[in-house]
Chain A
Amino acid sequence: MKIAVASGKGGTGKTTIAVNLAYVASHAGERIALLDCDVEEPNAHIFLKPKIREKHSVGVLIPEVDQKKCTLCGKCGEICQYNAIVSLPKKVLVYPELCHSCGGCALVCPEQAVAEISREIGKIEQGQAGHIWFAHGILNIGEIMSPPMIKAVKHAAPPAELIIIDAPPGTSCPVIEAVRGVDYTILVTEPTPFGLHDLKLAVGMLRTLEINFGVVINRSDLGDQGVREYCDENSIRILAEIPDDRRIAESYSRGEIICESLPEYQSIFKTLIQTVVAKTGNKLKARA
């Protein structure tokens, strides 16, 4: 079973929820994998402190033109929708950062002058944090293509009873890649106007993708009633509420797992995981 933890707005506590869910589930004897798919700013490792056992490079394919074979016919530049390959009067130029790796230029080149070579965009590190299998992707600085990186992190997952995906914030390409194919998504929000506005966008995205979801309200005693009213009106299930406790903020700032430093919060996360599992119609082997 795959569960994603996402949020339209950043900084609502997505990583906290993902990490603590993994923690309580692993302590209940489940085989858990946590995939940090926030490849632009991965943070889950700060809390889980995994022992990294393996590292590998992630690449995307880009064209390499053999200028000797090239007749400057211009076909490659015509098919490319991203201006990543341009046929100039004397030479064909490739702009690697703009390339989406569609393979079109190599397919249309009548002279077989285009080869596809791999270009690194980031790295995956994987290892173990207690009973939790861990992986995260780290996008290289200056790279714009996070979706292929996210796809690679998702591919790295071992067979596990429960895979928890920490998704990037927002509602566009990277998030869509992270939640694609999951059984359930937990949307984390704050009960504020910003939180509500971004929650609506995230809900729209998940409904378009036809993915089941529920909402967790973090720092639930702040702000106003807007998020609750919206969820009520739209029959969206509120899975849990976590109060605005200064001790949580401090423990978070030090990179601690809330369930460890403030054990009284374990029950919230245990109930949350059980609720989500029940929603997906799955069963976990242990009673979390």
Chain B
Amino acid sequence: MKELVIISGKGGTGKTSITGAFAALAGNSVLADCDVDAADLHLLLKPRIIQKHDFYGGSRALIRNELCTDCGKCREVCRFDAIEIRGPVSPHRQKTYQVDPVACEGCGLCAYFCPAQAIQFDPALNGEWYISGTNYGPMVHAQLGMAEGNSGKLVSLIRQEAKKIAEEEKIENLLIDGSPGIGCPVIASITGADQVLIITEPTLSGLHDLQRVAELTRHFHIPAMVGINKWDINEELTGEITRQAEELGLTMAGKIRYSRAVTEAQVKQMPIVEYTNDGISQDIRELWQVVMGELNKS
């Protein structure tokens, strides 16, 4: 089984559209959407949900007002400004303490130190994850709750489940839509993968972000390739990125032209290679051939 993660450094470079196209070209692979903050792959692949699971990423504190003696210890130990003081509730109670669930980091100190045992500290429901069927193979994806954290843990969970399915069903390729940036969810999506494909664009921001994300893949010793999307928007920078990719030790995997068909296909909710056979789909096919070649070598 080979695991390919498609990431981008900079957001909005077309990584999800390309992952969707790869899914269609691969025919049968296991798909995983690890861009849990802004999961969009399902909009192209139209998964039919088979299993639904709750995701508990960490715990969260809750003050039981009737037991609280208003001593203020919790507020003193909390380093995340998550304990708020609320005004008088009755003539006998000048103030009460409350946890701001969004600010709570789930460290548990308040519950540990509360002298009145007034703080409940239970696993918090952070979202849901799904195992689905698509026309292109099984898919694992998730939905993080509103303003919830723990995205890194959710990413690790999705990858683990997707791998399990690939092994059980003996499916050769695992395609993962990663997240933008270089932080927690990205690290969780690439550690231990066989290959990373970085999709960038020929803009100064794209180049800058590529340098950062290439440093990240090197830091974790993961072989990485680059694809330049919308390469014809700035040919000069495309040349510069190609040159720098080599210096950064990245394999140049291909270039994709700019086309409004990408958005049209998205509106029609289908992978671009099924929407059109024009130039852009040819570009993506060529990119896929190179990527497959590298993946099989690794």
Contacts and interface: CB of A to CB of B under 8 A. Distances in A.
B132 interface: no
Interface string A139-180: 101111110000000000000000000001111111010001
Interface string B262-298: 0100110100000000000000000000000000000
Given A100-B107, A192-B266, A254-B204, 18 more contacts: A9-B12, A40-B181, A40-B182, A102-B107, A107-B77, A141-B212, A145-B183, A146-B183, A169-B12, A169-B181, A170-B37, A170-B180, A171-B37, A171-B38, A171-B144, A172-B37, A201-B146, A205-B146
Interface in B88-116: 102-103, 105-109, 112-113
Nearest to B215: A141
A144 B205 contact: no
A107 B79 CA distance: 12
7 cross-chain pairs, A with B, having the tightest CB-CB distances, nearest first: A10-B11, A11-B12, A170-B37, A102-B107, A40-B181, A253-B203, A255-B204
B209 interface: yes
Contacts of B152: 144
A130 interface: no
B25 interface: no
Contacts of B269: 193
A141 B182 contact: yes
Nearest to A210: B102
B26 interface: no
Interface of B: 8-13, 16, 36-38, 40, 43, 58-59, 77, 79-80, 102-103, 105-109, 112-113, 144, 146-149, 151-152, 179-187, 201-206, 208-209, 212-213, 215-216, 219-220, 233-234, 237, 260, 263, 266-267, 269
A94 to B, nearest CB: 16
B266 A194 contact: yes
A120 interface: no
- Report whether over half of chain A's contact residues are helix, strand or loop; otherwise say mixed: loop
Nearest to A198: B38
Given A79-B109, A198-B38, A173 B151 contact: yes
A110 B219 CA distance: 38
Nearest to B186: A40
B43 A194 contact: yes
Contacts of A144: 152, 183-184, 187
A176 B182 CA distance: 17
A96 interface: no
A243 interface: no
B38 A79 contact: no
A170 B11 CA distance: 9
Contact of B203 (A141, A168, A252): A252
B145 to A, nearest CB: 9
B152 to A, nearest CB: 7
A223 B267 contact: yes
A176 B82 CA distance: 13
B183 A253 contact: no
Given A41-B10, A139-B183, A172 B148 contact: yes
B179 A9 contact: no
A265 B149 CA distance: 38
Given A102-B107, A208-B102, A43 B209 contact: yes
A172 B267 CA distance: 26
Contacts of B151: 172-173
B179 A141 contact: no
Contacts of B263: 192, 222-223
A15 interface: yes
Nearest to B81: A180
A81 B106 contact: yes
Contacts of A172: 36-37, 144, 147-149, 151, 185
